[in-house]
Amino acid sequence: MVNKPEQEKDKAIIIETRRYGEADKIITLFTKRFGKIKAIVKKIRTQRHRYAATAEIGQIAEVFMLFYPKKNYLCRITNIKVIKPFFLLNPTVEHLMSLHYILSILSEGVPFNDPNPEIFDLLYLTIKKLYDAKKEDIRHIIRTYELSFINKLGILPSIEFCSKCWQPINSNAYLSFSLKNIVCDSCSRASDLKITSSFISLYKSIKQDCTDLKIDYTTDLTARLFFRHIFQSYTGKPMKILNVRKNLKIQNK
Ligand SMILES: [Zn+2]
């Protein structure tokens, strides 16, 4: 009675998969209602489950899970229905690298068992956009994701006030590399990154949940540095990108 598992069904995105023992697989997935979880798929090779082979990273799927009341019991996946299969579309290496980058950010930025439906929707939308993206559009998708991600995590710094003297910023804003935050003209150092006006309008669009941003090359650089500094200061470590070759079968055709 006490150990009776609870059955759940949820939308999920597969983040990482690895073999476990002779016949099992451990999958890290990000679900809408339960957040990031680790789950086990039992006896993949012996029973030839159809779904086991389909569990590849980046896939959007509907998963059927058993949650055990005992803390040291891993959640168990009993079925996976792929909603959107990535690999049928024969993605380019750029698409795959971007997918890995997107999932790495999620993996580093979101703790286990802490649901965040807004970030789930963002990831879901971003992956869907990436599936159909032309090569030249990938950059826009990634920058939008990065900034939206830190916005939804609640760590997007305010650019209205200086983080050092707390005065409103009326003229120029800078990203202070030492403070990992926004400072005003008089608090900035020569090495700090000037926040351009085009970045400020981008910032405002992100605040308004705009998901379809077009970013010019100058702003692209600012946005990239901005994200990297804020995100790394939040996680407290340099970004680790998931291993592409380990997780993906890149087809060289
Ligand atoms: Zn200041």
One domain for residues 107 and 231: yes
Measured in Å, residue 65 CA sits from the centre of ligand 1 at 51
CB 239 within 8 A of CB 146: no
Measured in Å, residue 186 CA sits from the centre of ligand 1 at 6
Measured in Å, residue 182 CA sits from the centre of ligand 1 at 9
By residue range, what is the domain housing residue 214? 103-235
One domain for residues 53 and 135: no
Measured in Å, residue 58 CA sits from the centre of ligand 1 at 42
One domain for residues 132 and 47: no
Residue 92 has pLDDT above 80, yes or no: yes
- Classified as helix, coil or strand, 247 is helix
Number of domains in the chain: 2
For ion ligand 1, residues whose CB falls within 5 Å: 162, 164-165, 184, 187
Please indicate, yes or no, if residue 91 is contained in any of the structural domains. no
**Can you give the CATH number for the domain in which 122 is found?**
1.20.1440.120
Q: How sure is the predictor about 106, in pLDDT bands with cuts at 50, 70 and 90?
A: very high
Spacing of C-alpha 151 from chain mean position: 12
Measured in Å, residue 50 CA sits from the centre of ligand 1 at 59
Strand pairing category for 75-84 and 35-41: parallel
Token duo for residue 205? 């669009």
Measured in Å, residue 185 CA sits from the centre of ligand 1 at 7
One domain for residues 226 and 107: yes
Measured in Å, residue 142 CA sits from the centre of ligand 1 at 31
**Can you give the CATH number for the domain in which 38 is found?**
2.40.50.140
Sign of CA dihedral 93, 98, 101, 103: negative
The model's pTM: 0.87
One domain for residues 123 and 188: yes
Q: What is the chain's mean pLDDT, rounded?
A: 86
* pLDDT single digits (tens) 131-172: 888 888 999 999 999 999 999 999 999 888 999 999 998 888
Please indicate, yes or no, if residue 231 is contained in any of the structural domains. yes
Please indicate, yes or no, if residue 248 is contained in any of the structural domains. no
Please indicate, yes or no, if residue 34 is contained in any of the structural domains. yes
Phi/psi region, residue 138 (left: phi>0; alpha: psi -120 to 50; beta: rest), is alpha
Question: Which range among 104-108, 239-243, 249-253 shows the weakest confidence by mean pLDDT?
Answer: 249-253
Please indicate, yes or no, if residue 207 is contained in any of the structural domains. yes
Q: Which pLDDT score, from 0 to 100, does residue 252 have?
A: 39
Please indicate, yes or no, if residue 95 is contained in any of the structural domains. no
Q: Which pLDDT score, from 0 to 100, does residue 253 have?
A: 34
Residue 192 has pLDDT above 80, yes or no: yes
User: Of 140, 130, 135, nearest to 103 (Cα)?
Assistant: 130
Residue 247 has pLDDT above 70, yes or no: no
One domain for residues 75 and 113: no
Measured in Å, residue 161 CA sits from the centre of ligand 1 at 8
Measured in Å, residue 175 CA sits from the centre of ligand 1 at 11
* pLDDT single digits (tens) 197-244: 889 889 999 999 888 888 888 899 999 989 998 999 999 988 766 555
Measured in Å, residue 215 CA sits from the centre of ligand 1 at 28
Please indicate, yes or no, if residue 116 is contained in any of the structural domains. yes
Measured in Å, residue 148 CA sits from the centre of ligand 1 at 26
Measured in Å, residue 176 CA sits from the centre of ligand 1 at 11
* pLDDT single digits (tens) 14-71: 999 888 888 888 999 999 999 999 999 887 665 555 565 567 888 889 999 999 888 7
Taking the C-alpha atoms of residue 31 and residue 63, their distance in angstroms, rounded to an integer, is: 9
Please indicate, yes or no, if residue 251 is contained in any of the structural domains. no
Measured in Å, residue 210 CA sits from the centre of ligand 1 at 29
One domain for residues 44 and 111: no
